[in-house]
Chain A
Amino acid sequence: MSLVKIAGLHKHFGSNHVLKGIDLEIAEGEVVAIIGRSGSGKSTLLRTINGLESIDDGEIVVDGATLHAGDKDLRPLRLKVGMVFQQFNLFPHLTAGENVMLAPTVVKKTPRAEAMEIARKMMAKVGLAEKFDSYPDQLSGGQQQRVAIARALAMNPRVLLCDEITSALDPELVNEVLSVVKQLAAEGMTLVMVTHEMRFAREVGDKLVFMYQGRVHEAGPPRELFANPQTEELASFVGSIN
């Protein structure tokens, strides 16, 4: 039984056909790394999974919540899917703790005290318990991204989407974020990440998806794909980054 099922997915930006029929299944607890050149559609694919981009054709099912072209009510899907962004997108007027508490109290109507407890737990999980009352602009990029992860986790999602979450970070801050992700993977969290960190994808990923010109060009266990690319495009992509 797959947790995420994407079938026949199409997406256009105007006349630009960016996703040309994507089929993808993700099992519970699986860690999927999506790679590919810029413009290959990898970020767009990720963003369709929680409805940040509308779709033109096909179907997305996440743990029973479905999305079709033209659907307006995205809440059921978004309650199952969390997302972490490249630019963190923390709410600047709220403390780190308030950022984490906001959606549980507003969306799920969790009582404040309970939401606070959840938030403290999540902040501890990402190693920032002591930064609960700091504002985003008082935190480093790596810390902000960890708060963003805690914020997504506080909604208790079935899947966590990570959109190039280390690309905006200074090199020395990348590892603190990746180690949080690694820990989540070890705990059995289902993760879908668009990433440029090939070593990380190889170490932590269960499945590698190589996107090329709007299609899933190759998919499989990362070690196999890296060691033995079946297509010239993947071979050249792997060659270009190593």
Chain B
Amino acid sequence: MFTQFSTWDIVRNLLEGGKWTLALTLIAFVLGGIAGLLVLFARIAGSRLLQTASKAYIEVFQGTPLLMQLFIVFFGLSLAGVDVSPWVAAAIGLTLFTSAYLAEIWRGCVESVSKGQWEASASLAMRYTEQMRYVILPQALRIAIPPTVGFSVQVVKGTAVASIIGFAELTKTGSMLANATFQPFMVFGFVALGYFFLCYPLSLYAKHLERKFHVAR
């Protein structure tokens, strides 16, 4: 049995895979953002234990390959008796990965708020949580937006690794099509183009925000 693939067939199949890339990105980014906020709070908390634990968490995720993280989630969960699909494993793995990176980016933003702001708010008899809530975080939030948008590009690209644990997103679809059509040059060219269309606008937007922010300062 031999199926003839037209260019349109290839593109249509890739678009189908691209949808899953987008879905995985959104889930990882949103859940990773929420988890990252928790890690951030632990990282800047008064408690030494929480600080150390969250620092270790960040260092482990930033110091190991995303592929290994996905493998460990995938095989670890099945050991625990949870039968996971590649889709769930990828979502969990990328969420953890994203949370570590976002927490670290945001910590940098919190720390970049000038020391004078801490001193000024302390001199007004504010407690640590009040300083954070009313003075530091609102300023850090503004600084955090451009690099956060910039990091979303890394999340989109990270989803490609999920193809290796068998999740049929854009890259996996591309691999299957390349095998079936014997046209790897064209197929992977289209795959690259697909990622580029997803990522480039985000990169441009991040750069734009960064510039706007610098002018505003």
In the complex they form, whether A and B have CB atoms below 8 Å apart is answered with no
Footprint of A on B, CB under 8 Å?
none
